[in-house]
Amino acid sequence: MSPGLTPELAGSALATELPYLPGVATPSEIMAARALGICVMKLFPAEALGGVAFLKALAPVFPGVAFCPTGGIDERNAGQYLSLPHVPTVGGSWMAPREAVLAEDWARLRRLAQRAGALMRRPEAA
């Protein structure tokens, strides 16, 4: 996962055959990623770019492209993103807050992971 997309980074990442989610923020960047054969991208920073409304506007223009929005995503709004057919997943630091990781608070991290997983079962994410 990357905050942006450069030809050099994409070339190196694609050569590894590992999963790669380049960050995109504009239609031109989405087109550049598609030209490289990439069909799943990180939309960053999603909320600042217009959030769900922006993704809804992109959907008909870029069929076959899926997004993992990050940037401003939290437990309150994640379900709205996940309700979009071209958003299979979201990312957000709320799922693994720095202080919980540093404190090795595995119980809290487990609870947050369970709550994040439960988002897919909410009606707005159906």
- Whether the per-residue pLDDT at 67 is higher than 90: the answer is yes
- Whether the per-residue pLDDT at 122 is higher than 60: the answer is no
Gap between the Cα atoms of 8 and 87, Å rounded: 26
pLDDT of residue 126: 44
- Whether the per-residue pLDDT at 124 is higher than 70: the answer is no
Confidence of residue 121 (pLDDT cuts 50, 70, 90): low
Q: What is the pLDDT of residues 24-43, one digit of tens each?
A: 999 999 999 999 999 999 99
Extract the tokens encoding 44.
């960053």
Gap between the Cα atoms of 57 and 88, Å rounded: 17
In the chain the domains, ranked by start, together with CATH numbers, are 7-93 (3.20.20.70)
- The owner of tokens 């437990």 is 75
Bridge-based pairing state of the strands 40-43 and 66-69: parallel
At 23, is the secondary structure helix, strand, or coil?
strand
